[in-house]
Amino acid sequence: MSKQADALVVLEEVATSLKESAEQVDDESSFDEGRLMGYYEAISILLSQCSIASIEPADIGLAEFKPEDLLNRSKKAA
Would you give the end-to-end CA distance of the chain in angstroms?
A: 47
**Span 54-68, pLDDT tens digits:** 999 999 999 999 999
**Span 3-53, pLDDT tens digits:** 989 999 999 999 999 999 999 998 678 999 999 999 999 999 999 999 999
Specify the number of domains making up the chain.
1
Q: Which residues contact 40 (CB under 8 A, 6 or more apart)?
A: 22, 67, 68, 70, 71
Tell me the pTM: 0.85
Determine phi and psi for 53, rounding to 5 degrees.
-90, 10
Written as one letter, the residue type at 61 is: G
Q: Which domain holds residue 15?
A: 3-77
Q: What are the angstrom distances between the C-alpha of 33 and each of 10, 47, 64? A: 27, 21, 22
